[in-house]
Amino acid sequence: MKVVKEWKDMLGQDWEKTYGVTNSLYVTRQHNILYSVLAQFFGKEALNTRLFLFETSSFTTTPNQMLEVLTRTVADRSVGEVFFGNYYLMDYELMGGAASKAIEDEDKKLGLQVFLPPQVPFHSNEWPWKTDPSQGEGPATLEQIK
């Protein structure tokens, strides 16, 4: 945390123009240490706007790969604005109402309970994982494992 604080101090007002990115294996994203540390300095308003957690299937990601993903994400925002009238729309995996409805209809036909992710507003500043601790079972920390 000392290093990030020194970076923030060094950048001064330019910190508000800074992007932060880290990657995570898909199985370790919920409690990503580096992202959590960065979030302390970037603040909630920067989550998913200037601070990103990119999921990968690789244990390591090169700086060039991270820059490529960040560049693509930021560039896609202008596409979202032009085609959909929403600057942040392309940041999100899109499953529109029609797709949700089609899945719900098929679930009913097959006798399945509907199991879909909640609708989340575009340009959300929520953490990139579930934040409701009452959801799920089992230990939430290493200390709780016995």
Burial 86-97 (b: 16+ CB within 10 A, else e): ebbbbbeeeeee
> How many angstroms separate the most distant Cα atoms in the chain?
60
* 42 HSE (CA, 13 A, CB side): 23
Reduced to 3 states (helix: H, G, I; strand: E, B; else coil), residue 55 is: strand
Of 71, 72, 18, 48, the residue nearest 123 (C-alpha): 48
Q: How far apart are CA 102 and CA 137, in angstroms?
A: 30
Global model pTM greater than 0.75: no
Domain definitions of the chain by residue range: 2-144
Q: Where are the beta strands (DSSP E) in the chain?
A: 20-25, 51-56
State the pLDDT at residue 17.
96
State the pLDDT at residue 3.
96
Q: How far apart are CA 91 and CA 50, in angstroms?
A: 12
State which amino acid sits at residue 75.
Answer: A
State the pLDDT at residue 4.
96
17 CB contacts (<8 Å, ≥6 apart)?
A: none
State the pLDDT at residue 8.
97
- pLDDT tens, position by position, for the chain (146 residues)? 999 999 999 999 999 999 999 988 766 666 788 899 999 999 999 988 899 988 877 778 889 999 999 999 999 999 888 988 888 878 766 656 777 888 899 999 999 998 887 766 666 777 666 656 566 666 666 677 66
State which amino acid sits at residue 70.
Answer: L
Reduced to 3 states (helix: H, G, I; strand: E, B; else coil), residue 47 is: strand
Of 16, 124, 7, 24, the residue nearest 66 (C-alpha): 24
Tokens for 100? 């949700």
State the pLDDT at residue 117.
74
